[in-house]
A and B are shown apart, each in its own frame.
Chain A
Amino acid sequence: MKLTLRIWRQSSATGRLVDYVLDDLSPDMSFLEALDVLNERLITSGQEPVAFDHDCREGICGMCGLMINGMAHGPEKATTACQLHLRHFRDGDVVTVEPWRAEPFPVVRDLVVDRSAFDRIVAAGGYISVPAGSAPDAHATPVPKPDADTAFEAAACIGCGACVAACPNGSGMLFTAAKATHLGVLPQGQPERYSRARDMVAEHDALGFGGCTNTGECTPACPKGIPLTTIARLNADLLRAHTTRSDR
């Protein structure tokens, strides 16, 4: 099949969209494989290949992240760019490919952005401080099933940044909420629950992310479908941290 990829190329402070026509594609290829085909062609013809992030190509690592035709990870719901197959496009389509765009995600090159802002949010409190020692028995700490389900739903976040890329406010609240929720609803996460919410939100804000307006663009863009209820849960913890728990 044939596709025209209109790809953002950037090696300095500014970039531009460049058209590449690929007419030897298979509908069974993933979107990243189409970029591989393009890059092989660019390399053999002595041109600079398109830089893009990728790792597992199984939809679980969170490395790939492309704005495909104006939608984070492309048109398929709950699908990462690496798991998006070309059969979802029509033969002859023109497909625009851009990097995530948000103030805290500066473009490194072409389609690669620096997402270390997410690491800083996690470093601000997205962990549990315990002396590790040897692994405890799996059933040593009882966890109610609904709590385990909520925690797991949030823990499915792969930190790809699609929520920020899709947000009209450039907010990282769905990511922050997911990371705060998967710890905050478990017994092991209780001692630092409120300081975690306070510190992670403070870091989120300090990094220049926008505020959440509950528009709801993030959840449909999220390849793991992290629900908006996680944001409400974080809001509740944050409000409590600043009202009744300011000592912590």
Chain B
Amino acid sequence: MDTIGLYHTTIGKKAVMAVTGVALLLYVVAHMAGNLTIFSGADAINDYGRWLREIGAVWPTRVVLLVCIALHFVAAYQLTARARKAKGRYEHRRRVQGSYAARTMRWGGVILALFVVYHLLDLTVGWLNPNGVPGDIHANVVADFQHWYVVLAYTVAVLALGFHIRHGVWSATQTLGVTTSRVIGLGVAVVVCAGFLSVPFAVFTGLVS
């Protein structure tokens, strides 16, 4: 195994992005599923949160996520810098194929990173949360999504995540050597978006209180 040699190639950097991207996606899906416990009542989601801490899942997950994000970001940065240098600049240029999702991967990723910072300060640390009581996940979430601007911020971020996943899933499999149907990426993106957005909209419309 020649890891360093592989990483020096553009395909190797993409493979790192693919593998870390899949790991991050698995976390995103688990997070989304966990969020849905709020529909079983305040105790359900608060107990779920407590359970995650009791089994000691929190810090190992955070470490793995941080490593994945760092690797994903560094590879993306290196590839972007390389592409900026390599690509031609035309007086007149028309896009033919590239989807919106594919074209917005880079800035979309930056937006997601900024959102994650806000999200951590909001619902993990609690500083930016109107309620901000550690452990009372239900009350914090409900306090958050009373405000239209919080709902809007989360909606924009989740849609950005959906676009990122839509191209990312297809691109990751392609990078790892298998061409899959683009419908798979779209399906995963729709499910993740619907799952994440159900909570703020349920709170905002009074379904969850």
The residues of A with any CB-CB pair to B shorter than 8 Å are 6, 8, 17, 67, 69-71, 96, 98, 100-105, 165-171, 173, 201-202, 204-205, 208-217, 219-221, 228-229, 231-239, 242-244, 246
The reply to whether the CB of B98 lies closer than 8 angstroms to some CB of chain A is: yes
9-residue interface stretch from B10-18, B40-48, B135-143, B154-162 = B10-18
Residue of A with least CB distance to B87: A170
Chain B contacts for A211, CB-based, 8 A: 10-11, 13-14, 79, 82-83
- Least CB distance from A191 to B in Å reads 20
Q: With the chains together, A169 CA to B99 CA distance in Å? A: 15
Chain A contacts for B103, CB-based, 8 A: 168, 215
Q: Determine whether the beta carbon of A217 is less than 8 Å from that of B98.
A: yes
The reply to whether the CB of B174 lies closer than 8 angstroms to some CB of chain A is: yes
Q: With the chains together, A213 CA to B13 CA distance in Å? A: 11
Q: Determine whether the beta carbon of B1 is less than 8 Å from that of A220.
A: no
- Least CB distance from A58 to B in Å reads 24
Number of residue pairs A-B, CB distance < 8 angstroms: 159
How extensive is the interface on chain B, given as a class? Answer: 35 or more
Q: Determine whether the beta carbon of B102 is less than 8 Å from that of A210.
A: no
Chain A contacts for B174, CB-based, 8 A: 214, 228, 231-232, 235
Given contacts A228-B174, A229-B179, A242-B1, contact A101 B88 (CB under 8 A): yes
Q: Determine whether the beta carbon of B87 is less than 8 Å from that of A201.
A: no
Q: Determine whether the beta carbon of B11 is less than 8 Å from that of A239.
A: yes
Most A CB contacts (10 A, CB to CB) among B8, B9, B173 go to B9
- Least CB distance from A211 to B in Å reads 3
The reply to whether the CB of B59 lies closer than 8 angstroms to some CB of chain A is: no
Chain A contacts for B176, CB-based, 8 A: 235-236, 239
Residue of B with least CB distance to A97: B92
B6's contact among A210, A228, A234, A243, by CB below 8 Å, is which? A243
Q: With the chains together, A67 CA to B95 CA distance in Å? A: 12
Q: With the chains together, A95 CA to B31 CA distance in Å? A: 52
